[in-house]
Structure 1
């Protein structure tokens, strides 16, 4: 409670707002569990009209939307954790959006000119001051370069970093409270989710990182003439401002525009799927939010990807695990599937018999091939939940992105099969990883590591033999919760000391105090004082024992 008070000194108004929104959306149990209700004493917060008939998942989604970009991002991150949350919760959190009012031009113009280092008109001869899009993080404007090239400016909303950092401080404290007062939440790894949220938000706040992500994706797809990634104009890009080429195309969700363009849905779907999978498997980077607003059809059945503010990254080891996972699914290998899932799991207490049984059920259900990727991913997440595994954040984000991409691509081609599209890429990657050159490269790296270990062996053996001769072999034993045991012993010693001192006062001083000093109504004053002190000591003892229980 003291720590909450210290945190609230700095962010008291925001903390009260969070508590109020939780109560207004019927989430009072969260506020009570976290001992936050006291920050709105004596205030009766009525439920919002739309809340009464809403499900718990809908209430959480509406509350997060009202709390703004930090909490919307938290909900979006939770929507990727199908390994932790049931489908009805993740589907509801996928609907998250932050309705915002655009910042007026007069309030944002000074920030743009500060980042450009010049008046807007000096850099962009033609600039439209009305934003073409406004979101919780940024606003987007159209402009023209001196050479006539069309560009868009993505501008971070003023004061956003300060507001998000304040929210992250509060969330970090709320997670600590949740871990303390709500032990059942540990299953959902709240500290890890919070760390991932903070890292993702700070990365998205820096638009230079989005520019680097865009360039990395463009480098992976540089040889594909059927895919376009917009060019970043680094001369005018900064932390709060991103300038890139304007992409004119048709959204897959706009059937009229697609028809006018003469787009071939199946061809576009396949090219989009190949590009997405190529980025992930070959480049180790993937678009984490491939919804219809971030993918366009261009003339000639070309595909354009935009908005790389939210991306996922896959290490070489993770890509190898993914290849093994796809191979196990395609080959209907239940044991192989269980082995891969156990390998990628981070922490937790896996139920191995349940993992084996769940893997066999998954393989049996999809023995004829994966005809519905979204359903297959839901079934795979059920395997993870039933076996009490915990997926790393990068895999959880990839699975969510695959499900989003599948839904979007099916608008172009209802019969598309992402697993079939992935098969040639998987085969190519497997062959590349087992090519003579790659095996020689990995062999050299392993030999170098082994050589280093061999060099250390004599010194380690000499050190062990020396300690054996001296009889100084130490053993370190880790006892779980030893800090709690130590604290309990310290409290017990304190109670014992109070009891001994109190008893000494009563037994040692009582006879003497009865015979000395002034009297009050016939009773020695010192004796009365001693009696009062003894009673206080006894009350302290009783209070400590009651507190212990």
Structure 2
């Protein structure tokens, strides 16, 4: 193919390196299926430092990914968080991927840093430690002190990285097109969506201004809270390749010895951390995408600091509502509700509804009456999706990974931690806003989705019918004789259903509100809607 030849010519050296690494680690099937075997001879072979023959296939792939650098490491980390796409043997191995690498020598970093700062570091900073605090595949971090006396960290991109990553993304995008064309069965893995997510994340991390903006976005959420600390950005020194921000003193949440010595109330901190994360995700729809122990710090006064905002997740209002429905279905042990949410996320999948119904009930039975470990629960949920050929939307997969990570961190602080219980106040607050006058007005068109539970079975039936329609698996036979009468009947039936749902929604909310004298306006308006709606239903019933 001409396009293949063009790609190979433009990025021939990098493509040869990739082929050589894959072959070196015994990942030959991928090389052969993509037709890259002839390129490996052009690259300098690097002998793996392990006995490849003793490694399993997932272990070989993981080692090869680490050797290929940041683009492939990031891809592997994304796939490690997708038990809805990969089996446990693969996700568990890919979870071992790390981006910690040997630091680049200061002499190679200094010229780029001077060019970005516009002056030598000694003229900008009162102190600058040239030994990095941390070295990752994307950037290195240094500790410094401004002339004003403020302690800061200086994050610097590794030189020459953008060119390599851009070449990798071009090659992966081309490989994705080949895979989709040649092996349609890989479509369920959503390769184009995975590539879009990978490219978006990497380009975001290559621009440290983006990270600085993310940091300030999260800081604005907690502007009125002293117990959640987000580092201040020093914009006068920040650019695409350099980020200068406040240095936060704190203790990692998994350092129990230091936490105990500092007298930290670990149970209280776990509750605060959960509240902060859920407030970001469920209330604001913007959240820290990787809240692992290295990105969270416990500070004096039982405060929590968040750092490293290279990637943040975003959830639309619709996604947040779906998440609430999912949590509600799990808590109520409602397999039909669980199935309805799954079908809402199906996309272009073609699930076996009988199998899915059985899987949903089995999932509920496994977790019914037991102490809910949120991390295990979500992993099991995504495994159930994979077994039914359902792939989670990328934004929710990012959230689930964040929730599982946060749950693990909080369990470090409090072994008895229960995320469902800890989430109670935040979820109740969100539900209250959903069921307020404004929330009802905003959501009235989506009543049929079952948000108000007026007819518990109807939303599930509607979901099933819509999925069948999308899949073209519904056959309708109508005799044309009397078609006008049939049309009028359908219109009246649709009107009755719509009015009944709205009346039921208000009625469901009126019962508890009559006992609450603090909301007379809601009661009055709701009663009027119920009376008018019931009257309309009577008239519709007579008009046959």
Q: Does the TM-score normalized on the shorter chain lie above 0.5?
A: yes
Match of 1:34 in 2: 34
Structure 2 residue 243 is the aligned partner of structure 1 residue 242: yes
- Distance in 2 separating the partners of 1:176 and 1:441: 40
- Distance in 2 separating the partners of 1:67 and 1:370: 42
Structure 2 residue 168 is the aligned partner of structure 1 residue 167: yes
- Distance in 1 separating the partners of 2:35 and 2:9: 16
Match of 1:295 in 2: 296
Match of 2:15 in 1: 15
Match of 1:411 in 2: 412
Query: Does the Cα contact within 8 Å between 1:83 and 1:391 map onto a contact in 2?
Result: yes
Taking the TM superposition and a 5 Å limit, the aligned residue runs for 1:4-83 are 4-40=4-40, 49-83=50-84
Q: Which moved more, 1:39-48 or 1:13-22?
A: 39-48
Structure 2 residue 418 is the aligned partner of structure 1 residue 433: no
User: What is the TM-score normalised by the length of structure 1?
Assistant: 0.77
RMSD value over aligned CA atoms? 2.2
- Distance in 2 separating the partners of 1:48 and 1:249: 37
The runs of 5 or more residues in structure 1 that have no matched partner are 447-549
Shift, 1:40, TM fit = 2.9
Match of 2:89 in 1: 88
Match of 1:421 in 2: 422
CA 1:63–1:262 in structure 2 vs 1: closer, same or farther (change >3 Å)? same
- Distance in 2 separating the partners of 1:227 and 1:193: 32
- Distance in 2 separating the partners of 1:414 and 1:362: 24
Structure 2 residue 256 is the aligned partner of structure 1 residue 281: no
Shift, 1:88, TM fit = 2.2
User: What are the superposed Cα offsets for residues 264-317 of structure 1, whole Å, 9 maximum, x if unpaired?
Assistant: 221221111111111111111121111111111111111111111122111111
User: Would you say how many aligned residue pairs link Structure 1 and Structure 2?
Assistant: 446
* Secondary structure in 1 matching 2:144: strand
- Distance in 1 separating the partners of 2:376 and 2:92: 13
Structure 2 residue 128 is the aligned partner of structure 1 residue 107: no
Shift, 1:50, TM fit = 3.4
* Secondary structure in 2 matching 1:224: coil
Match of 1:472 in 2: none
* Secondary structure in 2 matching 1:143: strand
User: What are the superposed Cα offsets for residues 400-455 of structure 1, whole Å, 9 maximum, x if unpaired?
Assistant: 11111111221111110111111221111011122123334567999xxxxxxxxx
- Distance in 1 separating the partners of 2:371 and 2:81: 21
User: What is the TM-score normalised by the length of structure 2?
Assistant: 0.78
* Secondary structure in 2 matching 1:144: strand
Match of 1:149 in 2: 150
Query: Does the Cα contact within 8 Å between 2:188 and 2:391 map onto a contact in 1?
Result: no
- Distance in 1 separating the partners of 2:378 and 2:438: 35
Taking the TM superposition and a 5 Å limit, the aligned residue runs for 1:456-471 are none
CA 1:407–1:20 in structure 2 vs 1: closer, same or farther (change >3 Å)? same
Query: Does the Cα contact within 8 Å between 1:358 and 1:383 map onto a contact in 2?
Result: yes
* Secondary structure in 2 matching 1:109: helix
User: What are the superposed Cα offsets for residues 322-373 of structure 1, whole Å, 9 maximum, x if unpaired?
Assistant: 1111111111111111101111233221221122111111111111155222
User: What are the superposed Cα offsets for residues 157-184 of structure 1, whole Å, 9 maximum, x if unpaired?
Assistant: 1111111001111111122222233333
Match of 2:206 in 1: 205
- Distance in 1 separating the partners of 2:442 and 2:406: 35
* Secondary structure in 1 matching 2:123: helix
User: What are the superposed Cα offsets for residues 507-532 of structure 1, whole Å, 9 maximum, x if unpaired?
Assistant: xxxxxxxxxxxxxxxxxxxxxxxxxx
- Distance in 2 separating the partners of 1:297 and 1:257: 10
Match of 1:357 in 2: 358
CA 1:395–1:441 in structure 2 vs 1: closer, same or farther (change >3 Å)? closer
Query: Does the Cα contact within 8 Å between 2:20 and 2:41 map onto a contact in 1?
Result: no
Match of 1:231 in 2: 232
- Distance in 2 separating the partners of 1:82 and 1:56: 17
- Distance in 2 separating the partners of 1:272 and 1:101: 32
* Secondary structure in 2 matching 1:131: coil
User: What are the superposed Cα offsets for residues 217-255 of structure 1, whole Å, 9 maximum, x if unpaired?
Assistant: 112222332211111112221111111110111112223
Match of 1:268 in 2: 269
* Secondary structure in 2 matching 1:30: helix
Q: Which moved more, 1:43-52 or 1:348-357?
A: 43-52
Query: Does the Cα contact within 8 Å between 1:25 and 1:48 map onto a contact in 2?
Result: no
- Distance in 1 separating the partners of 2:386 and 2:440: 36
- Distance in 2 separating the partners of 1:303 and 1:355: 41
- Distance in 1 separating the partners of 2:246 and 2:104: 23
Match of 2:196 in 1: 195
Query: Does the Cα contact within 8 Å between 1:330 and 1:369 map onto a contact in 2?
Result: no
Largest Rg, 1 or 2: 1
Taking the TM superposition and a 5 Å limit, the aligned residue runs for 1:239-388 are 239-388=240-389
CA 1:47–1:111 in structure 2 vs 1: closer, same or farther (change >3 Å)? closer
* Secondary structure in 2 matching 1:97: coil
- Distance in 2 separating the partners of 1:398 and 1:125: 40
Match of 2:517 in 1: none
CA 1:42–1:312 in structure 2 vs 1: closer, same or farther (change >3 Å)? closer
Query: Does the Cα contact within 8 Å between 2:179 and 2:186 map onto a contact in 1?
Result: yes
- Distance in 2 separating the partners of 1:377 and 1:409: 16
Shift, 1:42, TM fit = 10
Shift, 1:3, TM fit = 3.0
Query: Does the Cα contact within 8 Å between 2:264 and 2:302 map onto a contact in 1?
Result: yes
- Distance in 2 separating the partners of 1:14 and 1:192: 24
Match of 2:502 in 1: none
Taking the TM superposition and a 5 Å limit, the aligned residue runs for 1:210-225 are 210-225=211-226
- Distance in 2 separating the partners of 1:199 and 1:22: 25
- Distance in 2 separating the partners of 1:168 and 1:372: 37
- Distance in 2 separating the partners of 1:68 and 1:41: 20
- Distance in 1 separating the partners of 2:320 and 2:403: 15
CA 1:102–1:45 in structure 2 vs 1: closer, same or farther (change >3 Å)? closer
Query: Does the Cα contact within 8 Å between 1:347 and 1:390 map onto a contact in 2?
Result: no
CA 1:336–1:441 in structure 2 vs 1: closer, same or farther (change >3 Å)? closer
